[in-house]
Amino acid sequence: MQAFRIHADDNVATLLGDVVPGPVQIGGEGDLHSIAVLEEIQLGHKVALQDIAAGTPIRKFGTTIGEATRAIRAGEWVHLHNCKSRYDARSETLDLHSGATTDMSYE
Amino acid sequence: MSSAFEKSWTGYLRADGRKGIRNLVLVIYTVECAQHVAHAIARDEENVQVIGFPGCYDNQYAIRLVMALARHPNVGAVLSVGLGCEYVQPARIAEVVRASGRPAEGFFIQELGGTRAAIAHGKEIVRRLGAEIDATVPRVPMGFADLTIGCECGGSDGTSGLAGNPTVGRFYDKLVDRGGRAIFEEIVEMIGLRDVLSTRAADATTRADVEAAYDKAEAYCRAVRQFSVSPGNFAGGLTTIEEKSMGAFAKSGSRPIQGVIKVGQAPAHAGLWLMDSVPDPHFMSFGYTNPNDTEGIMDLASGGSQIVLFVTGRGSVIGSPIAPLVKITGNSHTFAHMQEDMDFDAGRVLSGEMSLDAAAESLADLVFRVAAGAPSKPEALGHHEYFVMYKYQDPPRRACRL
């Protein structure tokens, strides 16, 4: 098992180790047991288990954890570049890789 | 095989009936100006810890927090050290602590003539107080039903909600079932979970309290435009505060929430309790709610937690002066990479090496060993970070033990 789907309603799974493009085994809840991952994704990050339309909920733990900001293909990395918080307004200003904010002046 | 939760050890009985797992002399400075002297007094002394007030002005919330810590079950005696100009009074701290059945003293540095004289005087006092509580505090048998355990998470990543926090959640279920008390807080890390939280309330009064605490926290985060999620969380795979919240909430396990307590307030009876540390409405609007992990650990200790569990994914290098901190990570890479700081590898749940039940048992065995006197990793490294925050909170409504 290389990725874990917490709830059968989830449209993402969490990676249990770093993965490269190719088939990845999925454990946990639901009937999907494998997904073709399209890019490198790191431990703890999420992969889309199905095509997700822009503006629709990202679901993990059986609950909505955010909203797709653009269309996401099955097998894509789901993170700051394609998913935003429904609460935290700064969520769309973050650097994709470091998570650092970009809306604060250090001058 | 018998459960680790059946184990017992020897603890320290306090006059209020609570039992401690350490017998500490606590040095409390009453203004930042006395900080150096307070730390110099404690340096190289055994079982002496330090906390203190940053400001000169007195703040009722901070006083409530510090006085709860001064009468914490792990504290046997108190020395309060002031400069001499500040609002907070060492003599009043000592007086209230003495009324709790603990020896306590206080002095002003200005009255002793300066740094060296104050350090020498303070060292003489903490040694005397230490010898006194060592000789006089009754030793009693203690088990999990005598424990209050707090749990904080910090530096969370994608493993925290899958392994680290669920392990604590299962541990909490078993602790509560055996008559212990469990406290979780960080309502600012329960954003989006109003309905989930509400259904966990034990009764209608608690449900209303939980919903009010949630609404306050969400409104506060929106108002200050800061949610409790950080670059390290994002880098670790958590994309939103909602996602982090679901993972953080897993530490609460599955038992009903008995009530909402405020900072400085201890649970009234056995069970799972939610601590509210978010400021109540006040014209001074005291800034960010929970600015760092140490602040949350102090809150949990103020609720009487003899041990605080700390769940991390990315790693952490903090400790706690009064309630030993036990570090758990759901990320086995982090455990291996930061082994000298990490107490427990919950990543074994993810690798399939152990079940959640087995992990909770194994954690209980570690808690037993720390309760029986073995130093946790942060304790052994000499970590005892503290942070006394100035805020406003309405005084607790429910009767509390302190």
> What's the pLDDT tens digit per position in B25-54?
999 999 999 999 999 999 999 999 999 999
B245 and B369 together in one domain: yes
How do the residues of chain A divide into helix, strand and coil, expressed in percent and rounded to 5?
A: 5, 40, 55
Joined together, the tokens standing for residue B135 give 């000789």
Nearest by CB to residue B231, choosing from A44, A86, A100, is A100
CA distance A66 to chain B (A): 7
The beta-carbon contacts of B52-57 under 8 Å, at least 24 apart in sequence, are B52/B27, B52/B28, B52/B386, B52/B388, B53/B28, B53/B29, B53/B86, B53/B88, B53/B388, B54/B388, B54/B390, B55/B31, B55/B390, B56/B31, B56/B32, B56/B85, B56/B86, B56/B87, B57/B86, B57/B87
Break chain A into its structural domains and give their ranges: 3-93
Q: B242–A6: do the CB atoms touch at under 8 Å?
A: no
- ∠ CA B11-B147-B178, nearest 5°, is 120
Q: How far is CA B354 from CA B172, B337, B346, in A?
A: 18, 21, 9
Q: How far is CA B66 from CA B104, B171, B365, B386, B400, in A?
A: 14, 28, 30, 11, 16
Joined together, the tokens standing for residue A2 give 């290389």
ipTM: 0.91
Using CA atoms, how far apart are residues A67 and B239, in angstroms rounded to an integer?
A: 10
Question: In A, which residues are within 8 Å of B226 by CB distance?
Answer: 90
B177 and B126 together in one domain: no
Total beta-carbon pairs less than 8 A apart between chain A and chain B: 109
Question: In A, which residues are within 8 Å of B288 by CB distance?
Answer: none
pLDDT below 50 — which residues of chain B?
A: 401-402
pLDDT digits (tens, 9 = 90+) for A32-76: 999 999 999 999 999 999 999 999 999 999 999 999 999 999 999
- Looking at residue B357, its pLDDT comes to 96
B268 and B314 together in one domain: yes
B203 and B339 together in one domain: yes
- Looking at residue A54, its pLDDT comes to 98
B105 and B219 together in one domain: no
B278 and B168 together in one domain: yes
Closest CA to B118 of B41, B9, B195: B41
A3-93 — its CATH code? 2.30.130.110
B112 and B181 together in one domain: no
- Looking at residue B402, its pLDDT comes to 45
Nearest by CB to residue A88, choosing from B196, B241, B246, is B241
Query: Into how many domains does chain B fold?
Result: 2
Closest CA to B236 of A46, A85, A61: A46
Question: In B, which residues are within 8 Å of A14 by CB distance?
Answer: 158, 162, 237
Residues of A with CB under 8 A from a CB of B: 1, 4, 6, 14-16, 42-46, 58, 60-61, 63-66, 78-80, 83-91, 94-95, 97-101
Residue B326 domain-assigned (yes or no): yes
Residue B10 domain-assigned (yes or no): no
The CA dihedral of B17, B21, B26, B28, to the nearest 10 degrees, is -80
Adjacent-strand bridge partners of B364 = none
State the best of A65, A86, A98 to mutate against chain B, taking most chain B CBs within 10 Å.
A65
B81 and B110 together in one domain: yes
3-class secondary structure, B262? strand
Adjacent-strand bridge partners of B307 = B149
Closest residue in A to B351 (Cα) is A16
pLDDT digits (tens, 9 = 90+) for B282-301: 888 777 778 899 999 999 99
Residue B392 domain-assigned (yes or no): no
DSSP strand E in B32-127: where? 48-52, 75-82, 104-108
CA torsion through residues B20, B155, A28, B242, sign: positive
Residue B210 domain-assigned (yes or no): yes
Residue % of chain A over a pLDDT of 70: 100
B158 and B68 together in one domain: no
Closest residue in B to A101 (Cα) is B231
Residue that terminates a domain, selected from B77, B103, B136? B136
Q: Give the residue, B398 or A89, on which the prediction is more confident.
A: A89
Residue B13 domain-assigned (yes or no): no
Show the domain range for B127.
24-136
**b/e map A31-61, b = 16+ CB within 10 Å:** ebeebebeeebbbbbbbbbeebeeeebbbbb
Question: In B, which residues are within 8 Å of A91 by CB distance?
Answer: 239-241
CA distance B228 to chain A (A): 10
Using CA atoms, how far apart are residues A37 and A34, in angstroms rounded to an integer?
A: 9
